[in-house]
Amino acid sequence: MSKSVAIVTGAAGDIGRAIARRLADDHDIVLLVDIDATAAEEAACELGAAERFAALKVDVTSEADTTNMAKVAAGLGVVKTLVNNAGAARAVSLHDTTPEIWRADNALNLEAAFLCFRAVENMLKASKGSLINIASVNGMAVFGHPAYSAAKAGLLHFTRLVAVEYGKFGIRANAVAPGTVRTQAWEVRAAANPNVFEEARRWYPLQRVVDPADVANAVGFLASPLASSITGVCLPVDCGLTAGQAELAHTFSQSDHY
Ligand SMILES: NC(=O)c1ccc[n+]([C@@H]2O[C@H](COP(=O)([O-])OP(=O)(O)OC[C@H]3O[C@@H](n4cnc5c(N)ncnc54)[C@H](O)[C@@H]3O)[C@@H](O)[C@H]2O)c1
């Protein structure tokens, strides 16, 4: 019997590491890939034994690297789950967005997901496995970072494209859309405004931001047989942000129940 492999991209980051930890519950091996080789190695070591957690340097925007990623994964077993988690945002407004930033954000947040999927699709067919794309609430409404957001909106549609075209092979494709998650991606903003998470909290119906483990649990569910008839969906993990805002409901209704 081949070993089951889960690939997590951007796995050296806080969300990626939490996903890798969660997927080890029902996969034999988790392959942590990241452009930062040292950080990926450290994350794999921190998570557990080398037979369970492998690390690989991959630039997910490079076709050569994603082809190599598939080769390395095939040497470990059969890919059952691919999580496209690597992502980043560069410019905060359209006024700040240069053509280079627009292209780079699309390459990392959208095109890379396509490259990684095509690289491992034969193994996903063999395992009747699943694809999980880490999108964002930014792909559902406007919260800043336009190039990143447009790419994440594209990622949601890419998820549906895979679900419809590859469903006949037993491959499922779903997305998770986190709201604010306290990770290293927030370092610069948290340094500029130490209250950034406190200020964000008031817009969330649950009055808190998201933990990396919340995202990981949603991924674990979507990758599992519990979700065997779920494909083509986007699961927001956003403490209620996209459901609505209590402050606005209060203004509109003038009811103190909000
Ligand atoms: N943190 C949040 O508030 C938040 C909210 C919504 C969605 N997300 C999404 O969750 C995912 C993880 O975010 P995070 O906050 O953990 O980010 P992070 O910056 O902490 O981690 C991202 C990881 O991706 C890696 N990476 C960057 N470019 C890469 C490349 N070309 N190839 C391979 N790896 C690369 C980085 O080295 C890093 O380890 C991203 O897709 C992000 O858009 C995050």
Q: Which of 253, 101, 231 is nearest to 159 (CA)?
A: 231
- Residue from 145, 181, 215, 242 to probe ligand 1 pocket by mutation (most atoms less than 8 Å from CB): 181
- The C-alpha angle 245, 249, 253, rounded to 5 degrees, equals 180
CATH code, domain carrying 148: 3.40.50.720
Q: Can you give the residue range of the structural domain that contains 225?
A: 4-183+210-245
pLDDT tens digits, 68-119? 999 999 999 999 999 999 999 999 999 999 999 999 999 999 999 999 999 9
Ligand 1 atom with the shortest distance to the CA of 107: 31
Instruction: Answer yes or no: is 28 within a domain.
Output: yes
176 lines ligand 1 (CB under 6 A): no
Which residues lie below 8 Å from residue 154, measured CB to CB, with a gap of 6+? 106, 109, 110, 139
pLDDT band at 223 (very low <50, low <70, confident <90, very high): very high
- Residue from 17, 67, 85 to probe ligand 1 pocket by mutation (most atoms less than 8 Å from CB): 85
How far, in Å, is the centroid of ligand 1 from the Cα of 9? 9
Q: pTM for the whole thing? A: 0.98
How far, in Å, is the centroid of ligand 1 from the Cα of 232? 22
Query: What pLDDT score does 36 carry?
Result: 98
Instruction: Answer yes or no: is 201 within a domain.
Output: no
Residue nearest to atom 24 of ligand 1 (CA): 10
Q: How many CB atoms lie within 10 A of CB 79?
A: 28
d(CA 141, CA 137) in angstroms, rounded, equals 7
d(CA 42, CA 180) in angstroms, rounded, equals 25
Active site residues: 148, 152
Residue 1: pLDDT above 90?
no
pLDDT tens digits, 49-71? 999 999 999 999 999 999 999 99
3-state secondary structure of 132: strand
Instruction: Answer yes or no: is 250 within a domain.
Output: no
Instruction: Answer yes or no: is 83 within a domain.
Output: yes
Domain count, the chain: 1
